[in-house]
Amino acid sequence: MEINNKLQNYILDMNRKKDNVIEPTAAQGADTLKFYLKSKPPKKIFKLNDAELFVVDVGGVLRDTTELDSKSFEVGFKAVGIDYKFDADAVWHLKGLGRYKNRKKCIYALLAISDLHKEAELIDILKKPDAEEFVTALIQDYIAKKGADAAEKTMQIIYDEYGKFFNSDEGKKLVETISGSQEAMVLLKQKGYKLALFSNGGRNAVERDVPYYKILDAVICKEDITKEKPSGEGIIKAAQMLGVPVEKTVYIGDAIVDIWASRDAGCKSLIVSDNGMSFPEQIAKEKPEFVFNNIMEVAYAIKTKQNSKQQDKNKKIKIY
């Protein structure tokens, strides 16, 4: 088939201007040119200000419960007569290990490490390349040693005592609000974005620790869903409640499980790392769409919605 030289030169010239396109040669013939003529332009890159809704995790993003989590586990271990000698930061990072943000799995992990790996430092275990598989194997060994029924009974007692202390007035004293988190939420609202919370935690604790929750458009907690993260059910529910396409939603979290939940929902993931449960190296492997140091950085980086500039110029948001 004869090739039109002018058409070929034009296509070659156009493609030289695109960094991500391989230049065809004359020897590639008409089929190559047909491919270039039919090929679609690359998809538009999603920018933060393309979002309409930000769904925000609580722990590690808006509040710091590092000390409260560790103390709650300690209270549970004391109830079953087992020494608890874990570093609070290490336990926080255990919760960021893949699917170990689930409290029952964390308890099993701590029990197994206490019983089978007493000389090992938890933080060293968590930094192993195969940390999640290693901890899972320890748990299986622990259950085999103790028996499934006995292990579950011990775990359940710790689980219940953990919950009682975590939600108590005494526990509340150990909760810290992450600096700038409230201001960031207000700023994002003022810039015209819808905001929702989605946490695997219970509503009482979430509303206790995020006293400004009433300025948000939706609050989704474990009582509102049938599947916890890594399921994206809560993100999807928030988007549906607020009438926003999930494709225009960004989930802000601090752990691997938050990235998985974003993917399950079909939205973009944004990780804040300053108080993150997962180590930076673990996050990097999962390739979230966006990474920031903290939620305040996000709020300042994002642009005001064009259709919100005038209406929000003098808008005041009530702070609780």
Residue 101: pLDDT band (50, 70, 90) is: confident
Average pLDDT of 314-319?
51
**pTM confidence score:** 0.80
- In terms of average pLDDT, the best of 38-47, 202-211, 212-221 is 212-221
Which residues does 117 contact at the CB level (< 8 Å), separation at least 6?
Answer: 125, 138
Average pLDDT of 54-64?
95
Higher pLDDT: 13 or 220? It is 220
Cα 174 versus chain centre, distance: 23
Residue-range domain boundaries for the chain: 48-64+176-312, 66-172
With a cut of 60, say whether residue 102 has pLDDT above it.
Answer: yes
> 48-64+176-312: which CATH topology?
Rossmann fold (3.40.50)
Average pLDDT of 142-151?
96
pLDDT at 12: 45
What are 11-43's pLDDT values in tens digits? 445 444 444 444 444 444 455 444 444 555 556
What are 261-304's pLDDT values in tens digits? 999 999 999 999 999 999 999 999 999 999 999 999 999 999 99
Average pLDDT of 100-124?
87
With a cut of 80, say whether residue 144 has pLDDT above it.
Answer: yes
